[in-house]
A and B are shown apart, each in its own frame.
Chain A
């Protein structure tokens, strides 16, 4: 059937040239149909074209639904005891000083021994030393000086500096500069290596089915173990399955073990006939075993070279035939016991220089045609004739590649379709048909975090089912399930959207909480990169085995969710879904005896993150958010806090709360963790413990009855409250009253009238820009507009109230006047500011001028203050309409901030409330200040025209550089100060004028 070819392919551009699209996001795998065509169109069935056209898309929506049976992966074999789990943190090359420090401190003999020997004769630690030997007394201070790590030169002792200059570059055996650069290089390469290590491509885990009968099937799991992953294990597994239960795996007691001379990098398997080949790749050698149902595994052949191998593949067509490639680019056909036959050698990359020695080799549908791949693409090479290569895939615009995209893995999908090949890049997955080279039949954006280095194909078991592709990543342990159909009579189509399967590192969140140090250990162990995976499908169950770099194997089982199962089993797929509901999240916290904050423990598991986020979504109900913008939405939320989340998330209601965790799973994990924790314990015999047992005992004995009752009740209350998602108030409980320490008096910004404090106060309230605008007068136009609007409104209101014609007439006159006055303000205020600043340079001033020319008030603050002090008594006697200030200077200097009329509204209410509650007796209350500010505002505005007039006469030296003006312009508060100060006097004299009164409405 594989010989058929679809009679129509989806339209596709064929373009030359390198890719030019940059990847912008990794969400490309969703929401697209890609291409569409009508199935029953065309000349062949043109006669039936009266029926409506049926369209098919390249990406289709419906696929098989696979649901994990358990919420987390299950360990299959006991942990690999020799393995060392490296921390998942990538080494940072910029950390090299710390590494150097560590080296100098912990390996001082290696670092300084040579020089130490040389200096031995001339330095001594003894107190009494011969004359020519230096004592170590100064050396002590020397060492003390070394503690000052920050700055070596500004040092403790002169001697160090001298010594440093003298011997700094020779005292260590390896010159620090050389060592540092080498270390940096090494760390960089280590980081690269850790992030992406191509050696493991292909994966080192295999499953060979051997024998099948009713109820169980026999197979072999092949995996490496040991500290360096150099033990090859061939382990028999019996898979038992009943109709309605997921299959279970029973491992043989002892595997066949082979000790190899290097780390197992890749395991490749052939189709099993009676016997089958198992090929193992290590860096410098490869081996082939023969595996059969009835026989012991048999080592067939080993090859060894000086060049590293990068790939080994067992032929799916012929037994005892393999293909190997080394990093020099030579590809060989290896016939077991007959030796290698080179069929291709490339000393450069295929299509462009990708600077990568990685090569790959796969078989194709013809036993003598091979796929030769590197980072830039893949070619089909015919072994029978030289130079008959043609492109199967290349990184380029035809495949719609991104720039920087590289081939990560190529795989011949012999089981799914005889002509199909899988090409993985870090962004996408392609299915290529070798009959239509270079145009992908299918393309997915797999959306994985790290590139997929492992792949596994599961053929469709019946023609109606889908072919499944599983992709595995190394570092992130991700596993993706992709489904597609077609390639024969029908064109290839993807089915459903990509599904992510469980990975070992997420499993902790589905188990009982561990003590922090154990949790840390477990996390470290589970977070290691993956080293391979394999999958087995049995009817409606799909089992996936995952191997991590520490040699641990985990498995998970997925069940095909069909309509039938839905009707059989009332609970929808969510009953076994991974998603934890909020309830379980909380109950889990309750159960846990450790007071462990999930969020503080850094956890990679995203389910946990999701739970935290869900919690957060709820918490928002209680967030007291007084930003005007959100006030209404918050009110809405508050109205229906109980169903807020449910309303937004309908699945919550449909999902039954996750039942208590799977006990089998927990038991399996507990068993698995045991040796790990035990080993860790051995390693730290001096672990300091604080005994708390007696505390517990005391509590049990000495608690009297009522107290216990109270606690019980409190506990119950707490649970109740948590269920209802409410708040528990202290007053409701029966606890003893708390000693409420009063909140310290709030700082009144008016107490701190200086500019900096005012600015800080403004910026604390988020009004920093506004303050500056206010200060610089940038928002004057706006204010004027506002004022004008207000006037107009007031006028209209008045006009409505007023009955007499004359009244309206006067008011309109005053309005006109005020308008004309204001219109000049905007243009002239800046000018006046400049001039006052210029004035400030002239020192000849006296009290008369102070009174006459208000602008000069903005001179130096000292003068101003002196003046004000003198004036304080005078002001009192004036009997100003405002309150009599005890500290007039403070009162005046606050004005720049209090000029913001809108400010009280924007202040956070908590502060405002606090101020309202406890008005400090000594300070002026806030309310008067607002009134004041209003008044001042009005004075300020009214004074502007006059000030403008008066500024025209002074300033004979207008030739000041503009730069200076600009520099000093950020402090024009003096101007407003002056303008407020003066009207105070003027208002007294002009108080009777009706014109001013009309402005009071502001």
Chain B
């Protein structure tokens, strides 16, 4: 019994002692034995005491880590590791996961921890509780990727991919799917690295190797992309490969499925990818507008809406122009676009165009719906003052929009006028004023006539 325990102790202590090695060359300290730190009145040690001190130790580690006292946490952690040897199988599962999580975090923050320490640590804990095998494998792979060891990561992933362990592997099915997907992703990355070395003309030379990578990657990526979820990097890489081999139909199918499948979550990027794909392949304008319209119904605040507006303005139809107005006004209601110059200019442009085409009733209709909101959202006196301080151009554009809608917001106009006066030289100002006076007089005349 005793022999086994000491042996285990050594094995477990080896993992953390490695982290000490580089740091200080003093002989490695034996861990403080948790289950012997609290003798009972008779001088004996019981399991309950161990649990107690174990829990206490864990709390101390937690506290130290939350306060970012990594060294102290490392000190306690070297003692905590004993939990792995003592507990029964049912208790080991959480304990091994805790150990893994705490240990990696501490290793990340302790100076002088090397990649070997990490590898050793991941390897040990991976096999400790099989229930975490896939998860730790994937994390290990990520760690290697982040440290630019792609080959090693690839190797780890393929090991993890081929792992089978009774019911445990089915319980980790999601993780396994993800591992498979990352396998394909890494295949793609290797493929894309090798791609320029095989230009289209000499494809025959490297063709075989490239094809195998392509095949491996595409099979797994196709698999994961058909699963509901957000798979932006995977979709991008899959499309890239398909486009490279000029299988555009398949690519379009994948993208359409990714964007329009009801089972998938709403992801603006899916629509963006589809739109970009269509644009790359010179799809007809109607199709482009159609895809963006759908995006507008889902995410009216997306930046592609500006593109939609310009597309709509280029068609000759009146309804499209009116739609462009609505789209751009929708956009401006979002707080992220509230002060955006481009969006305001776009709106002004659309309004001017509509004015030119004598479609002021459409503008009027749209404005009447939004009037109260817009006046309090964009044309408060505070907005005016803020704009005058921060972005005078915007102030002017906003004023022009207001002017087109025939709104009589004196406060805002006053601020705009004041700024204008200050900024422009006197002569020009005078000239402008004259012009304006003329127009105003005209307007007044019109008004009086109307009245």
> When the two chains form their complex, are residues B233 and A38 in contact, meaning their CB atoms are under 8 A apart?
yes
The interface bits of chain B over 165-205 (1 if a CB of A lies within 8 angstroms of the residue's CB, else 0) are 00000000010011001000100110011011000000000
Interface membership of A577, Cβ < 8 A: yes
Task: Kindly provide the distance from the CB of B148 to the nearest chain A CB, expressed in whole angstroms.
Answer: 7
CA distance A274 to B181 in the complex (A): 53
Interface of A is mostly: loop
CA distance A25 to B105 in the complex (A): 16
Contacts of B299 in A (CB 8 A): 435
- Name the interface residues of B387-434: CB closer than 8 Å to any CB of A: none
Interface segment out of the listed A138-146, A164-172, A617-625: A617-625
> When the two chains form their complex, are residues A497 and B65 in contact, meaning their CB atoms are under 8 A apart?
yes
A419/B178 contact (C-beta < 8 A), A30-B102, A31-B102, A46-B240 known: no
> When the two chains form their complex, are residues B230 and A650 in contact, meaning their CB atoms are under 8 A apart?
no
CA distance A630 to B36 in the complex (A): 8
Interface membership of B355, Cβ < 8 A: no
> When the two chains form their complex, are residues A55 and B146 in contact, meaning their CB atoms are under 8 A apart?
yes
Contacts of A33 in B (CB 8 A): 139, 142-143, 146
> When the two chains form their complex, are residues B230 and A12 in contact, meaning their CB atoms are under 8 A apart?
yes
> When the two chains form their complex, are residues A649 and B72 in contact, meaning their CB atoms are under 8 A apart?
yes
> When the two chains form their complex, are residues A8 and B233 in contact, meaning their CB atoms are under 8 A apart?
yes
The total number of A-B Cβ pairs within 8 Å is: 266
> When the two chains form their complex, are residues A497 and B333 in contact, meaning their CB atoms are under 8 A apart?
no
CA distance A629 to B302 in the complex (A): 68
Interface membership of A42, Cβ < 8 A: yes
> When the two chains form their complex, are residues A3 and B301 in contact, meaning their CB atoms are under 8 A apart?
yes
Task: Kindly provide the distance from the CB of A768 to the nearest chain B CB, expressed in whole angstroms.
Answer: 11
Contacts of B24 in A (CB 8 A): 647, 650
CA distance A436 to B230 in the complex (A): 10
How many interface residues does A have (CB within 8 Å)? 98
Task: Kindly provide the distance from the CB of B63 to the nearest chain A CB, expressed in whole angstroms.
Answer: 5
> When the two chains form their complex, are residues A497 and B109 in contact, meaning their CB atoms are under 8 A apart?
yes
How many interface residues does B have (CB within 8 Å)? 103
CA distance A623 to B45 in the complex (A): 13
- Name the interface residues of B59-109: CB closer than 8 Å to any CB of A: 59-60, 62-72, 74-75, 78, 93-94, 97-98, 100-105, 108-109
CA distance A644 to B75 in the complex (A): 11
> When the two chains form their complex, are residues A648 and B78 in contact, meaning their CB atoms are under 8 A apart?
yes
> When the two chains form their complex, are residues A4 and B303 in contact, meaning their CB atoms are under 8 A apart?
yes
Interface membership of B39, Cβ < 8 A: yes
> When the two chains form their complex, are residues B66 and A447 in contact, meaning their CB atoms are under 8 A apart?
yes
CA distance A613 to B178 in the complex (A): 42
Interface membership of A643, Cβ < 8 A: yes
> When the two chains form their complex, are residues A418 and B181 in contact, meaning their CB atoms are under 8 A apart?
no
> When the two chains form their complex, are residues B301 and A365 in contact, meaning their CB atoms are under 8 A apart?
yes
> When the two chains form their complex, are residues A8 and B303 in contact, meaning their CB atoms are under 8 A apart?
no
Across the interface, A43 reaches (CB within 8 A) one of B143, B150, B239, namely B239
Interface membership of A817, Cβ < 8 A: no
> When the two chains form their complex, are residues B66 and A908 in contact, meaning their CB atoms are under 8 A apart?
no
Interface membership of A398, Cβ < 8 A: yes
> When the two chains form their complex, are residues A318 and B101 in contact, meaning their CB atoms are under 8 A apart?
no
Interface membership of B130, Cβ < 8 A: no
Interface membership of A616, Cβ < 8 A: yes
Across the interface, B196 reaches (CB within 8 A) one of A38, A49, A390, namely A49
The interface bits of chain A over 1-41 (1 if a CB of B lies within 8 angstroms of the residue's CB, else 0) are 11111111111111100000000110110111101111001
CA distance A579 to B75 in the complex (A): 14
Contacts of A418 in B (CB 8 A): 334-336
Interface segment out of the listed B266-274, B321-329, B345-353, B443-451: B266-274
CA distance A630 to B44 in the complex (A): 13
Contacts of A273 in B (CB 8 A): 382, 386
The interface bits of chain A over 411-423 (1 if a CB of B lies within 8 angstroms of the residue's CB, else 0) are 0001000110000
Contacts of B36 in A (CB 8 A): 625, 627, 630
Interface membership of A609, Cβ < 8 A: yes
CA distance A480 to B291 in the complex (A): 43
Interface membership of B377, Cβ < 8 A: yes
Task: Kindly provide the distance from the CB of B252 to the nearest chain A CB, expressed in whole angstroms.
Answer: 14
Task: Kindly provide the distance from the CB of A339 to the nearest chain B CB, expressed in whole angstroms.
Answer: 15
CA distance A675 to B30 in the complex (A): 51
Contacts of A647 in B (CB 8 A): 24, 26, 29
A606/B228 contact (C-beta < 8 A), A414-B335, A578-B67, A648-B29 known: no
> When the two chains form their complex, are residues B230 and A10 in contact, meaning their CB atoms are under 8 A apart?
yes
> When the two chains form their complex, are residues B146 and A36 in contact, meaning their CB atoms are under 8 A apart?
yes
CA distance A613 to B80 in the complex (A): 14
Interface membership of B37, Cβ < 8 A: yes
> When the two chains form their complex, are residues A613 and B104 in contact, meaning their CB atoms are under 8 A apart?
no
> When the two chains form their complex, are residues B67 and A617 in contact, meaning their CB atoms are under 8 A apart?
no
> When the two chains form their complex, are residues B63 and A24 in contact, meaning their CB atoms are under 8 A apart?
no
Across the interface, A14 reaches (CB within 8 A) one of B145, B193, B230, B336, namely B230
CA distance A28 to B132 in the complex (A): 13
The 9 lowest CB-CB distance pairs between A and B, nearest first, are: A651-B71, A31-B101, A500-B66, A2-B336, A31-B104, A30-B105, A418-B336, A43-B240, A649-B75
> B-side interface residues toward A, CB under 8 Å?
2, 5-6, 23-24, 26, 29-30, 32-33, 36-37, 39, 42-45, 56-57, 59-60, 62-72, 74-75, 78, 93-94, 97-98, 100-105, 108-109, 139, 142-143, 145-146, 148, 150, 174, 177-178, 181, 185, 188-189, 192-193, 195-196, 224, 227-234, 236-237, 239-240, 243, 263-269, 272, 299, 301-303, 333-337, 340, 373, 376-377, 380, 382, 386
Complex A-B: 8 CB contacts under 8 Å: A28-B101, A316-B335, A366-B334, A437-B266, A497-B65, A577-B67, A579-B72, A648-B29
Known: A32-B139, A43-B240, A636-B29. 4 other contacts (CB 8 A): A55-B145, A317-B335, A366-B334, A577-B69
> A-side interface residues toward B, CB under 8 Å?
1-15, 24-25, 27-28, 30-33, 35-38, 41-43, 46-47, 49-50, 52-53, 55, 57, 61, 65, 273-274, 316-319, 365-368, 390, 398, 414, 418-419, 435-439, 447, 480, 497-500, 577-579, 606-607, 609-610, 613, 616-617, 620, 623, 625, 627-630, 633, 636-637, 643-644, 647-652, 654, 764, 766, 908
